Structure formats: C-alpha cells, structure tokens
Structure 1
Amino acid sequence: MSLKLPAPTDDPTSPGDPTAPGDPTSPDDPTAPGHVPAASAAPAPRGGGKGRLRALDGLRLVAALMVAIYHLAFRGSGAWRGQPLEIFPHLSHAAAYGPLGVQFFFIISGFVICMSGWGRSVKAFAISRISRLYPAYWAALILVTVVLFVLGYKTVSRTDLLTNFTMLQTPAGSERVLGVSWTLWAEMRFYVLFAVTVLWRGATRKRVLAFCALWTIGALYADSSGQEFLKLALMPEYAPFFIGGIGLYLLRRFGHDLLTWGVVATGFLLGQHYAVLGLVPKPGVAVTFHRSPTVVIALVAAGFAAIAAVTLVRRVADVDWRWLTTAGALTYPFYLVHEILGTLVIEKLKAHTGIPDYGVLALAIGSMLLLAYLIYRLVERPLTPILRRALTHQANRLSEPRPASTG
C-alpha cells in the first residue's frame, strides 16, 4: 500500500516543509511563555515597547497555515480523488502561493535568531537550538513512522529512518520521512553561519551589519559562480530573507537609520527576485497552474511589511493577547506533521464519510492543530528543559580542566 503524496523536493514551489523556521516561541527566546529576560537580552525598541512579541507568534502560525493549505488544498490530488483546482476552484488559486510561507518563516527566523543569540556564547546558542528543535521533531518522526507502518503504507528504509533522527538526512542524501524537514537543513546552515561569524566574538551592531553585507555578497557570488558547494553553504535563494529579518531586528534594537533600512530593502529586493525565480516557471514550461510574478512580488512585500509592523510599530508589538503565544507554540509541531498526517485524514474522510470537501479540509487542519497541541504539551514542554539541562551539564563538564596526571 502506498500513500499518494507528492515526492518531497527542495524546490520552493513545493516546500516539504519553517522551520520550522524561526521559533520565536522557543523557551529560551524572548517571546516564549514564561521567559525571564537575561541581562544581555535585547532591550525594548527605542521609545518603549515590551519585550514579548506575541504578534510575531501569530504570524508564524499564519505562515504555517499558508504552507499547509498549499500542501492539502493544492498538491493533495491523491487524497481528494480528483484535482484540487477543480475541487477548490477559488481556494486553490490562492493556495498556489502557499510556498511563500517558507520565505516568511525565514524572515522571522533571521529576526528571532539574532534576538535570541545576542549576548550568548556559541555554546549556549547551540544548546538552545538543539533543545528547542529536537524533541518535537523526534516525536513527529516517530508518530508519522508508526502511523504509516500500522496503516500499511510504504515507508523509508531502516537505514534512512535511523539517519532521519539526526535531522541531517538531507545533506546525508537519505530519504526524508518528513518532507518538510528540508527547511530545517536551511535553518541549520543559517545557524552555523551566524554562530561562526558573529557569536563566537560576540554580537555587536557593526559585526552583524558586516555579516549581512558579506553574506549578501558571498551569496550572489555563489549563485553566479556555478560552484555547488558555495551555493549549498551560502544559500543565495534564501539568504535575502534571513538577512532581511536580521535587519528588522537591528532596527528594533538600535532604532531607525539609513544603513540598516538598506539591509532590509536589499533583503526584499533580492528576495522577491529569488521568490519569482522559484515559483514562476519560465515561458514555454508546461504547468497546470501559472503563478503571477506580480502576485509573488506583492506577497513578499506584504510579508516583509507584516513582520516589520509587528516588530517595529509599538502599538502592534505591544499586543498582549496570550492566545497568540499558544498559537505560536503550535506552529513547529503543526508544521512537522501536517503534510503526511493531514493528507491521511483527508484520504480517510473522503473514503468513509460524506462530509463536504471544505469540511474535510477544515477537519484535517483542525485535527493537525490539535495533534500539534498534544505534542507541545506532552513532549516539548517537559522534554525541552530536560534536554537543555543535560546538554548544559555535559558542556560544562567538557570545559572543566582535567586533573593533572600523577603518573
């Protein structure tokens, strides 16, 4: 028995995919529930404002829903037993632009990683990222594997499954269990670049601006050089979004200035280029649906504008609706499980019920949000601090001087 899912690909037109990009609800991030800012945490924006950015959590869920609706209402033809463009003639046209949710994740990630890494050592930063990303990822990986096995669907080989537990299956060339996990590989490359070029000496405004400039130049060179390793390391198609998010954080921390706005503007201008390049097929290429370059550019602009609003406009940044933080906490596990398990829900509901198609879609998304909540409460909340303490203890032991040999 084989589940009719589209083959996962790194092509941004079909993101198997936020990091879960970003993760401003991380327990060690300033927007996390119950977070107590450290002395080195970023100050509020000039002119006041609170440290918690609940509205940014809400945007993360919006980005995840964009990707989910794309996967379930545009690509999921096997589960619907028909073409989504015919089943959802209006929704599918909007859902076709859902892959841009990944780019929105990357903008948010640039902002949040710069914010949460400020004042931290590379060791502390690495521990925070590992303890944040792995518990929910492992839970989703095990859950999806068990469900597919129990229902008799084809799964990956044993060796590929074991490789998936490292979260390094993409660079290792192994088949992915969670199609969306390719974006986690993009996130990891960003973390490494930021850690080894900024955090190892300590984040400062000048150092971060230099990082943004050098990464932009390096990414453009990599794209034009034809050297695959440079493209892999510097990610020219995604770098502008991470860099734009970093620029927005600098504006929030240090206030407005022409140079930093130039970083954000460059991120948008290059980002829309790569978004159009990835989402709009070249003339003469046969496709079932043609995306409009104008719409892609407008949506990228809207994404940058929305993230700028919730981080820089005081009245929006100060929104204190607690449910937004809960919504943000669901984003990562929802993002991990929605594609495969959501498709299964649709397939079973279509086969065994007479629920209208829009109702089936709503139930699929709703059930995935409920599952995400359970993963968050039963896995992430208890295991993340345990893993962080264990990693911190081990790192501290490694840094202790060894006793002198008496031999």
Structure 2
Amino acid sequence: MTRSTNAFVTRTIITPSPPPAGERGLGAWLRRNLFATPKDIVLTILALALLGYIVPHLLNWLFLQAVWDGTDRTFCATKVQGGTQPDGWNGACWAFVKAKYDQMLFGRYPITERWRPTLVAILFVLTLVPLLIPKVPFKGLNAALLLLVLPFISFWLLYGGFGLQIVETPLWGGLMVTLILSFVGIAASLPLGILLALGRRSDLPAIRLICVTFIEIVRGIPLITVLFMASVMLPLFLPTGWTIDKFLRALVGVSIFTSAYMAEVIRGGLQAIPKGQFEGADALGLSYWQKTRLIILPQAIKLVVPSIVNTFIGTFKDTSLVSIIGMYDLLGIVQFNFTDATWATAVTPMTGLVFAGFVFWLFCFGMSRYSSFMERHLDTGHKR
C-alpha cells in the first residue's frame, strides 16, 4: 500500500467556527421567532399595536393615576361623587386594599390573636419548602412532619384550647381559609384518588363497582352542589342535637370532589404503563402492593405530573365557591367589603377583584412553574 500524499487532506483537528453573524444576537432571534414568514410579520405587528394600545391605559389605571393612601371613600371618588378626585379621573383605589389588607388575610379572626395563623403559615413554609427541594435529605421525616404533625399543631393554634383562646371557625376567613381548604383538599385528594384508581382497576367486582359508582356520581355533579349538600342537607341526616362544623363539612366536600377527578388522572397514568412492567414485577415474585408501590405507581405518577398539578390548580381556584355557603375566603372577604359604605366608590370593586385575581394567579403560577421543574427533574428516560 502506498501512503497518500494529497495536500488537501488535513492531519489536525480544526476548531469549530462561530456561527455567522447574521444567525446570532437579538436580530436573529426576532427574525426567527417574530418575522420568519409574512403571516408572522402581520401577526407580530397586530400584537404590538394591541399591546401599544392596552399597556399604557393599564399602567395608567394600575399605577400612575392610582390612589395609594387614604382613610375613606373620598380619596377614591370624584368631586361629582363627593370625593376629592377631579371629574373624569379613572384609577385604582389601592387605599381600599391597604385598609382592608389584614381582613383579606385573616377574615374576622381576633386582631390580638392573629399571631397564631401567622405562626401556622411560617411552620407550613418551613416544612413544605424542604420537601419541594429534591436535594434536601430526610424526605420521609419531612413528609411526616408536614402531613401528620403539622395538621394537629395547626388546628390547636387556629382553633385554640389548652391555654389558647378558642376562635370559632365562622370567624376564620380571607386568604387563610383559601389556603387551608386548598391544602387539605390537595393533600387528601391525592391518596384518595390513588386508592380509587386502583379500586377501579381491581379484579374484585364489588370493589370495582363501588369505586366506579363513587367516581362517576361525584364527577357528574358540580362542586357547588357538593358544598350545598354538605352544608344544608347533611345536618338533616344526623341525630337530633348532633352537628358538624361547617368549615369541616367544606373540607370534606372539597376533598371528596377533588379525589374523584384525581382518580381519573391516576388511572390514565396506570393505563399508560406497558404490560411488561406488570409481568416483570410478577416474575420477581413481588406481591400486589409491593409491585404497585415500588414499580407501577412511581412510573404512573411521573407520567401524569402535569395533569395532577392542573387538578391542584383547579382545586385552589374552586375554593372560592365556599362563599356561596356563607364562608368568607379571600374572594368572599373582598366581595363582602364592597358593601362597606366607608369605601363605596365606582373603582373599589374593580380594585378589590384585581387584587384577589393577582393573589390567585400568583399561587397558581407558582404551582405551574414548580410542575415544570419537576417534569425536567424526573425526565430521566429521554436525556440525550
């Protein structure tokens, strides 16, 4: 064999060349994402025109012409309405939110005792955040503190007794009620939903029939009907003199309603597991519960994380329906304060609703972002 002497054959590795200047930077990004085709150009121009029209008015109403301080309605009313603002003024009344802020957080909870829900919130954050961070150790202990210990401590602190002043649940309200209802509903619906999903796929006809009947009945009626039945009809079936706290009835109603939807979400994940996973677990000699706990459920839950979080977000927003049965959550407190003559102005309702909507969005957006993080963290099967 003869050795090639072609001069055009290189014997060294050439370093990668940088991309062309036209394919880098802001201009290239705009061209690829906003001006790639004539259709994209038209839609981009229309979107920019719409934003150019809406954003200035929105900023003007929210911030520039908004009233930030005041003690009564005169600060947020025009002169025609008996206030101090010029005629034609149009801005948010954040002074109303500032004046009612504590009530929006705690409802009618006694002012001198509001350190108790504040302490519960701090304990909740201290136990929840480490559980959400994958690298933090002792997850089992952390989960036990959050799901088993904290509920009893929280009930004692919020309700009272054993040295603390008793605060009846009708005095609870605001964001505190929203968070309690949503957290209990979320924490209770996931294990109940898993059991219902497993029961619906059971080989035992009686268990399967019970689970299917429960799921289909609960999913077939709206949440407001469940809440009305728990609040109005349930006492009719109790013995004379017996009663169940209305707040507890709402907790049970929200948990049962959410668990039916969660069961279908989990069932979708179970059906997506290949049959070979079940056969492989059986070949290893694992029992039904070992197979389910160690092999099937982890894979099924991983597949349906977006749907689970979507159900959680829906539960968080649906808690506002408890105002129909006379419980004042965040939205209920905001609406209740619209009747306060001290702050009765044309812009007060819109300002309160914008504030409540922003709070709901903040929590829902946080759950959505954490869901995306968990999807990336658990996506181990498709890494390049």
* TM-score using structure 1 length: 0.27
Larger radius of gyration: 2
- Bigger RCO (CA 8 Å, 6+ sep): 1
* TM-score using structure 2 length: 0.28
